[in-house]
Structure 1
Amino acid sequence: MSSVTSAEPAQLRRNSVGLASAVIMSAAIMGPAVSTFFNPQFSTPFSGEATPFVYVACLIVMLITASGVMEMAAVAPSAGSFYTYVSLGLGPTMGFVAGGLMFVAYALLPPIEIALIGAYLQQTIKQAFGFDIPWIAISILPWIAMTVLALEGIRSTLRTAMTLFVLEVAIVLLMAVIVMASGGAHGVTATPLTPSASPSGLQGLITGGVFAALSFVGFEGATTLGEEVRNPRRNVPLAIALSTLAVGLIYVFCIWAEVIGLGPDKVNALTGSSTPWNDLASLYAPWMTPLIIVASVSSMAAVMVNGNTGVVRVLFAMGREGMLPSALGFIDPKHGTPRNAVYFQSLFSALVVIAVGAVSGGLANPDGGSNVYGYCGFVLTLAILLVYILANLAAIAFFRRRGDAHPLRQMLLPALGALLIAALFIAQIILQTDPPYTWMPWMIVAWLVLCIAGAGWLRMNRPDVLAKAGAVLAAED
């Protein structure tokens, strides 16, 4: 499938990366170590000892949800990712809406990791050396590194991500094996893999599930490389499947090991500011403590860098097609990178970190950085859940309209994926009782309405621009 535009659009550097890099793109955004070290303690106040079960359920749901995304990636590779898929399947209006929701989801990934790096290192340095450095000061360094790597180009970014990914996975798996081999706090048991272990019943499982879903955000990250990866129609869907399954299994095993190692009482008492893997290292392998710190920071950095790569390409694609200011579609002639989109996202990340951190705990208190991660992470997860629904509905509509839909892969599985994600989103609204999480779904609903209104304005005032949504695809090899 070739580009359907008559003018020659700005293009990213083709054939820059292979399958392994595409797998790393998705896997590193999910962040096995950071999601294992920091996400469960946002779930445990709700799902408690049953948090490993929540991750098993979430893995199954995400594999089903990924089906429609993979089918669209195979026929419509593009840097626009979901924005392009939804435009082609459900029309340009909904494509614009998907792009708006993607912006919330992807654009918040870099700042939450920047803040978490600062908060985690502030606590770690204080525990180890006794002096207190404000988390916001520490966060400046990863923010600068993220921006520089994005300007250098995709190869530098993915080489860095691959190194960090291999390091973090090796360390987190080693620690989990040590815990399980030692028998944990009260022996190895399968109880944490059952729903009955939830101290708060169904409500706890549902809310815990949203934070488990946060751990899977980014499984589709390879789709944003659709114009840069070799053989994208094969490699992008394969990268999605491989990364989702592999990282999901790592989550389940390692979080099961965490619950076994700490025991039910300690697990049920965890909060978002806890550092349970530091505790596991001190209990079972004190020599692992420095490695846990290294894995934590490297994983957060990998999510930050790859999340930034993804959102920059979505901004570029929408700017290139006129959905956003055309300056965002500019390509730096030397590095082949969307320079203006990089600068925009870098500034946005800094503003989010400072604003949310200041009002939710302060720029010197590590709770401020942890709350940036918890609150913004919850919001971005809700936004991406709606995008997943739209992407699966788009796949059904696209292949049905084309007249050659495969009953299972392109109809039944996408429909089931959309229903499962919709159920999670709606259940969150119905069952959530803890502020500020109670009003966060309504923030996303309000943003959805604004995006629909924006698409309506484009349809009335710039219909030629709206009609081009999703038009620029990767060229045939």
Structure 2
Amino acid sequence: MSSQSTCHAGTDSGEYDVGAGAGSAGLLHSLFRTKPIDQVVHEDGQGEGGELKRTMGLWQLTLFSVGATLGTGIFFVLGQAVPVAGPAVVLGFVLAGVTALFSALSYAELAGTIPVSGSSYSYTYATMGELVAWVCGWCLLLEYAVSVSAVASSWGGYLNDFFDAAFGFTLPQAISHTPGDEGGVVNLPAVIIIALAMVLLLQGTSESATANTIMVSLKMVVLAFFCVVAFTAFDTGNFSSFAPMGWAGISAAGSKVFFSYIGFDAASTAGEEAKNPKRDLPLAILLSLLIVTVIYVLVGVAAVGAMPWQDFDSDTSLADVLNLATGNASWASLILSFGVVISMGTVVLTVLYGQTRILFAMSRDGLVPKVFERVGRNSVPVANTVIVCAFVALLAAVVPLGQLAEATSIGTLFAFSLVNLGVIVLRRTRPDLPRSFRSPLFPITPIIGVALCVYLMAGLESVTWLVFLIWLAVGMVAYFGYGRRNSKLARARTSD
């Protein structure tokens, strides 16, 4: 393959491609070959295995992101954040929301410009090349698989809380906890929640979106219930010393609650199943972030208003605040525990959906086996969904995840960084592309987005970095052993 033919193939689409050459230079160039955006958009939901179907509107896309973001974090994060910020924890939520906003703006721009499945993986392939895209996709696989396994694994404990409040009994330790927990043998509730999510996903995207809409609505009703009840015990005196630790406390609280915002990008994985992706994807991403931020601030105000901030410690949950406000009324605990169980269900459903669509996009590009792009009768990648759910169920049922779950944070922040960089690259290489949304104050906003992600990554524990680096090393073996050899883009270039 000549350098001339490769460059020509890239420039036909107005796309930047470094071309290929001999020796080490040719290898380097091949690793950073970009996928022409015209080709990315033209594929539009279809691969050799079949075509995805556009069934999701703006509200469904928005609630997909809300469902992935609004998990169990808000029910328990106040115990970690309030002691370091006091009543100013509400500003900590706003600070975390603004921090997430910088990356959300970049996601919104790329989602409207490149409205396809695969989220940041697909955006990176079109802007920074195949190797970077592979690394991004590989990190997303770690993030999605481990995070949904961790959520499913802990679902049994919260299900027991609900059973205890409602019926006065709990499931035996042996069948509700993993072997790493005392008395745990196999976590059957984790398998059940994943199986239920799989059944919904196999019914079709529209059916999954409808189920998610119902569950997210129930979750928001439960949080509204908490706010209403907590406000009945509201004491303005609890806010008299609003920021006892000053800006340092607000900043510390913002860092602790930031990870409660992860998931706003879920709508971007549905790019090829959205009815009007160029309009709806950017709106869904930004609306979901706004909705979640408003809910978090309201919950924070209600909680601190009902319980003096000095009484919060690392074990404090919304249930403790509710018990104080109602005098330990059992009905209040029952409703809140129901909300936690539903919250975890929406996270499992939406994250599993996102992972299957990322694998669909990677399979269509030849970087993972073709089985992941085969679409069945309901316009669903059936084998893909079954394989992912079976793997995640096994992981959640018998593997003690422990600190491995924290690795999801670094994978997420890494993907956020690449999306911010992708906006900068694409503005330079393809300024002519029609964009349904433009990130304001360019290039300041994506640069700040990258800086904030790097800052948060630097603050993660060394064991998290170790897991991340080991995962990357395994990914490099997989890429050079399979992905690079089977890449459809490489074969297309060779045939030029």
User: Which TM bucket (shorter chain)?
Assistant: 0.7 to 0.9
Structure 1 window deviating more from structure 2 (120-129 vs 78-87): it is 120-129
Q: How does 1:259-408 map to 2 (within 5 A)?
A: 259-267=304-312, 269-271=313-315, 276-285=317-326, 286=329, 287-332=331-376, 334-357=377-400, 375-404=403-432, 408=440
Q: Is the 8 A contact 1:459 1:466 kept in 2?
A: no
Query: Structure 2 vs 1, CA of residues 170 and 401 (structure 1 numbering), >3 Å: closer, same or farther?
Result: same
Q: How does 1:77-476 map to 2 (within 5 A)?
A: 77-126=115-164, 129-133=167-171, 134=173, 135=176, 136-184=187-235, 187-189=237-239, 194=243, 196=245, 206=252, 209=254, 211-267=256-312, 269-271=313-315, 276-285=317-326, 286=329, 287-332=331-376, 334-357=377-400, 375-404=403-432, 408=440, 410-426=442-458, 428-429=459-460, 437-452=461-476, 454-456=478-480, 461-462=485-486, 464-465=488-489
Query: Structure 2 vs 1, CA of residues 302 and 398 (structure 1 numbering), >3 Å: closer, same or farther?
Result: same
> How far has the Cα of 1:118 moved from its partner?
0.7
**Could you say which structure has the larger radius of gyration?**
2
> How far has the Cα of 1:291 moved from its partner?
1.9
> How far has the Cα of 1:75 moved from its partner?
1.1
Q: What is the identity percentage for the equivalent residue pairs of Structure 1 and Structure 2?
A: 23
Query: Structure 2 vs 1, CA of residues 354 and 41 (structure 1 numbering), >3 Å: closer, same or farther?
Result: farther
Q: In structure 2, what residue type is equivalent to 1:138?
A: P
Instruction: Tell me how far apart the structure 1 counterparts of residues 237 and 340 of structure 2 sit (CA, whole Å).
Output: 26
The superposition leaves residues 181-238 of structure 1 with CA deviations (integer Å, 9 ceiling, x where unpaired) of: 4225x7341756x48269xx67x955x6555232111101111111011110110011
Q: Is the 8 A contact 2:57 2:275 kept in 1?
A: yes
Instruction: Tell me how far apart the structure 2 counterparts of residues 180 and 422 of structure 1 sit (CA, whole Å).
Output: 38
Q: Is the 8 A contact 1:312 1:342 kept in 2?
A: yes
TM-score by length of 2: 0.79
Instruction: Tell me how far apart the structure 1 counterparts of residues 90 and 405 of structure 2 sit (CA, whole Å).
Output: 19
Q: Give the structure 2 partner of residue 364 of structure 1.
A: none
Q: Give the structure 1 partner of residue 66 of structure 2.
A: 27
Q: In structure 2, what residue type is equivalent to 1:383?
A: G
> How far has the Cα of 1:449 moved from its partner?
4.3
> How far has the Cα of 1:49 moved from its partner?
6.4
Q: Is the 8 A contact 1:113 1:304 kept in 2?
A: yes
Q: In structure 2, what residue type is equivalent to 1:420?
A: L
How many aligned residue pairs are there?
A: 434
Query: Structure 2 vs 1, CA of residues 128 and 231 (structure 1 numbering), >3 Å: closer, same or farther?
Result: closer
Instruction: Tell me how far apart the structure 2 counterparts of residues 129 and 322 of structure 1 sit (CA, whole Å).
Output: 51
Q: In structure 1, what residue type is equivalent to 2:69?
A: M
Instruction: Tell me how far apart the structure 2 counterparts of residues 217 and 350 of structure 1 sit (CA, whole Å).
Output: 22
SS at match of 1:439: helix
Instruction: Tell me how far apart the structure 2 counterparts of residues 460 and 282 of structure 1 sit (CA, whole Å).
Output: 57
Q: Is the 8 A contact 1:114 1:143 kept in 2?
A: yes
Q: CA RMSD in A?
A: 3.0
> How far has the Cα of 1:57 moved from its partner?
1.3
Q: In structure 2, what residue type is equivalent to 1:116?
A: S
> How far has the Cα of 1:15 moved from its partner?
2.4
Q: Which has the higher contact order (CA 8 A, sep 6+)?
A: 1
> How far has the Cα of 1:98 moved from its partner?
0.7
Q: In structure 1, what residue type is equivalent to 2:105?
A: S
Query: Structure 2 vs 1, CA of residues 283 and 197 (structure 1 numbering), >3 Å: closer, same or farther?
Result: farther
Instruction: Tell me how far apart the structure 2 counterparts of residues 318 and 463 of structure 1 sit (CA, whole Å).
Output: 9
Structure 1: 5+ residue stretches without partners: 361-370, 430-436, 470-477
Instruction: Tell me how far apart the structure 2 counterparts of residues 210 and 124 of structure 1 sit (CA, whole Å).
Output: 30
Instruction: Tell me how far apart the structure 2 counterparts of residues 214 and 464 of structure 1 sit (CA, whole Å).
Output: 36
Instruction: Tell me how far apart the structure 2 counterparts of residues 291 and 8 of structure 1 sit (CA, whole Å).
Output: 45
Instruction: Tell me how far apart the structure 2 counterparts of residues 308 and 48 of structure 1 sit (CA, whole Å).
Output: 36
Q: Is the 8 A contact 1:312 1:338 kept in 2?
A: yes
Instruction: Tell me how far apart the structure 1 counterparts of residues 163 and 368 of structure 2 sit (CA, whole Å).
Output: 42
Instruction: Tell me how far apart the structure 2 counterparts of residues 468 and 173 of structure 1 sit (CA, whole Å).
Output: 54
